[in-house]
Amino acid sequence: MRGDLERREKELNALRLALNQDPTNIELADRYWAVIGFAQSGGAVRDAYGEAAVASSAGAAALARASRDLFRRTGEMPKAVHFNEKLIQALKHHLGTLTGQDHSNVEWVLQRLGVIP
């Protein structure tokens, strides 16, 4: 059991370092999000996907998808404390370029933050 925890912690540290070096890499963010498991939270969504969401519509979609999944599993809503103005503006910008479920998820996040009706 302890060996599993140590291995998981090493993997998390490696992923954190990799994300710090390449914060717009959605694949790394997805891996990080999967590995943190029970520690998933709104702050972790931002940490994993925030820079990717600022950089691209695919990143915005990934952040919103993780936020929605977190809500479905835990009931935790997106909170303003996890979203700075730069991130909110990026989500609003990317909303216009997204379609289908990605659009719906980003819109849902913005509505929960009270940014759009």
Whether this model's pTM surpasses 0.85: yes
Find out whether 46 and 29 touch, Cβ atoms under 8 Å. Answer: no
- pLDDT, one tens digit per residue, over 16-30 is 999 999 999 999 999
Q: Concatenate the DSSP letters of all residues of 47-59 into one string.
A: HHHHHHHHH-HHH
- Mean local confidence (pLDDT), 6-23: 92
Domain that holds residue 80: 2-112
47 within a domain of the structure (yes/no): yes
59 within a domain of the structure (yes/no): yes
Burial track 49-84 (b if 16+ CB lie within 10 A, e otherwise) = bbbbbbbbbbbbbbbbbbbbebbeeeeeebeeebbe
- pLDDT, one tens digit per residue, over 78-100 is 999 999 999 999 999 999 999 99
Residue 17, pLDDT score? 95
Residue 86, pLDDT score? 97
Residue 105, pLDDT score? 98
Residue 1, pLDDT score? 63
Structural domain tally of the chain?
1
